[in-house]
Structure formats: structure tokens, C-alpha cells
Amino acid sequence: MYLLVTGGAGFIGHHLLAALYAKYPGVQITCIDNFDPFYDVAIKEKNIQPFLDKPGFRLLRIDLGQTSISHLQSLIPEPIDAILHLAAKAGVRPSIENPASYQQANVVGSQNLLEFAVSKNIPHFVFASSSSVYGINDHFPWKEDEELIPISPYASTKLAGEHLGKTYSEQHNIRFIALRFFTVYGPGQRPDLAIHKFTKAIFNEEPLTVYGDGSTSRDYTYVGDTVNGILAALEYQGSNFEIINLGNHYSIPLLELIRAVEKAVGKKAELQYGPEQPGDVPKTYADISKAQQLLGYNPSTTLEVGLAHFVQWYREQRGE
């Protein structure tokens, strides 16, 4: 098996690489990552380090939004069985400040990769979408056929990626599976995300900022469960186009999350309150029945167990 994985140096991406090598002995992987400085590049360098000496592993440090199809063809001459496209410019709030850069990275980058798939006759394309495409929608839990009301440029770029996938699937007979991720957490989580920020604040005995009144809630999904869903999508051989939620089917209020992090760390948090942030939705909550039916998806990691894994990893990073 020969795979092209994008975003492999990121949080979910490096967990996916480890799972691919564990599940498919002898797999060959080309990884594309531009090491975007949205957060400390040293973290990504550390994430990718274990794979650099793997037989058949190739790392390409390129920006898909700025790369021609012919250049990709010259860099990757081998036949490819599937693309796992996780690379994206991340962050809801920063996308409001600089929407054009998100359009270039996430929409143009995805289109370039789809054009590359057409040129190479790559039959299978798994796309990392986002629960943010649902926007403000109170029809909980969210099914994949809900009305979509994205409220940030980031969310709009993810929805555009899904639409591109539908177009290329119909025109070029590519199997395109869009997976809508729901607030993924676990060891190695990005430092800009809530659980990481909360844990850091509690460890350092610093004030923890709650935006709004603390009533927002999220469907937190452990990274191992998300990766299992991606692996199942890689092996899916059904219809040529599907959009599938990969959540945990359980929405947890923010203050309840903070209490759970306090318990995992063993310290109390000092809370301070700030204004609601633009682009944030009040609640996410996934209906995962489609993922269960089509992919055999079964998220089994409770928040308590997942947070314990994260806090153990965090302590190790601190040298404790």
C-alpha cells in the first residue's frame, strides 16, 4: 500500500501516521506538511521525528496552496492508493482576522490535491472536514444532512472542501469521504485548544479565561477514536461520496469540562470571565449513527480516561 498523508506533522496527523504503521506493515507513506507557524514549529518537528527513518517514508515540506500539479507529480512519481488529507490552516478566530490566507491554504490547497488525484488516477480520497460547518444550528444531535450555517471563514473553507470533493467525485469517479471532526483532544493536542490551555493554566496556577458565561458545550472526541474512524474511512468501499460525523455523541458544558480537567490535574482552577468570542458556536453535538453504520465506528474513550492520558502526556512534557 502506498499512501499520501497531508498534515502528518500535526496533532491528529502524527497519531494517524503511527496508527498506519501499526496496522499496515510495509506501508509506504509520503507525508506533505508545510510546518505552518500557527503554533510552535518545534512541536511539529518533534511529532514527525519518529517517522523520518521509517522504510518507505518521505517528508515533503511544501505548501499545497502554492504548489503546481506538475511539481507534485515530479515529487511523487509512484502510483498512490489513497490520499488522507488532514492538512489545513487551523483556527476559527484567526480566520476572521485573515480570511484570504485560509481560502488559499484550505480551498486552493484542497483543489490542487484533487487535481493531483485526477492526474494520478488515485481512486480514494479521505478529507478532514469539521463540525464547524454546522454553525449555529439547534437541531441536536447534528445529522450529516442538516442545514449548514457556517459562521467563520475557517468553517466556510471546510464546507468548500466538501463541495469540491462532491464535484470531483462525480466528474472523475474518485471515492471522496469527508469526515467531520468534533473537538479532538488527547496527547499532543495543539497548544491553542481549550483542554491544553486549561491544563497549562491549572498547572501553572494562572487564571483560566472562560469566554461567555461558561454555558457553551462541545462534543469532545478522543484522538484515538478519531484515528480509528479515519482508518475505517480508508478501507471503506461503499458509495463514491459520503459525509460522515466523527464525534463522541455527547456534548459537555464548558464548566463541566473545567471540573473534569481539575480532577485529572489534581488542582483547582482560578476562573476569570471574558466576552464571547466571534466565530464560536454555542454547542456542538454529533449524531454518529451514520459512522457506526458505514464505518463500524465506536468511540469508546470516556472524557475521564482521555483527560488522564492527556495530563500524563502533559506531565511528561514538563519533565515530571
Distance between CA 296 and CA 279 in Å, rounded? 32
**Widest CA span in the chain:** 55
pLDDT score of 319: 87
What distance, in Å, lies between the first and last C-alpha atoms of the chain?
A: 40
Mean pLDDT score of the chain = 96
pLDDT at 281: 87
The percent of residues above 90 in pLDDT, for the chain, comes to 91
Rounded mean pLDDT, 47-54 = 98
Mean pLDDT computed over 154-175: 98
CA distance 282 to 217: 6
pLDDT (0 to 100) of residue 98: 94
**Mean pLDDT in residue range 85-104:** 95
* Preceding omega of 141 cis (within 30 degrees of 0): yes
Q: Mean per-residue pLDDT for 10-31? A: 98
**Domains of the chain in sequence order:** 2-184+221-249+285-299 (3.40.50.720)
Contact (CB, 8 A) for 239 and 173: no
Report how far residue 232's alpha carbon sits from residue 82's, in angstroms, rounded to the nearest whole number. Answer: 13
Q: What is the mean pLDDT of residues 189-205?
A: 95
Q: What is the pLDDT of residue 44?
A: 97
- Whether the pLDDT of residue 129 is over 90: the answer is yes
DSSP track, 208-237? EEEETTS--EE--EEHHHHHHHHHHHHH--
Q: Is residue 276 very low, low, confident or very high in pLDDT (cuts 50, 70, 90)?
A: confident
Q: Is the pLDDT at 213 greater than 90, yes or no?
A: no
Cβ distance 58 to 30 under 8 Å?
yes
Indicate the pTM of the whole model.
0.97
What is the pLDDT, as a whole number, of residue 132? 96
Instruction: Kindly state the cell numbers that stand for 226.
Output: 478519531
- Amino acid 315: pLDDT: 97
CB neighbour list of residue 318: distance below 8 Å, 6 or more residues apart: 203
- Residue 212: the pLDDT is 84
CA distance 297 to 232: 8
Given this model, what pLDDT does residue 280 score?
82
**Residues 17 and 29: beta-carbon distance below 8 Å:** yes
- Whether 2 is catalytic: no
pLDDT of residue 78: 96
The pLDDT tens digits of the residues spanning 140-157 come to 999 999 999 999 999 999
203: confidence class by pLDDT, cuts 50, 70, 90: very high
What pLDDT is attached to residue 320?
A: 79
Catalytic residue among 134, 154, 168, 285: 154
Among 33, 121, 22, 19, which residue's Cα sits nearest to residue 80? 121
Confidence of residue 294 (pLDDT cuts 50, 70, 90): very high
* Mean predicted confidence (pLDDT) in 204-215: 90
DSSP string, 149-183: B--SHHHHHHHHHHHHHHHHHHHH--EEEEEEE--
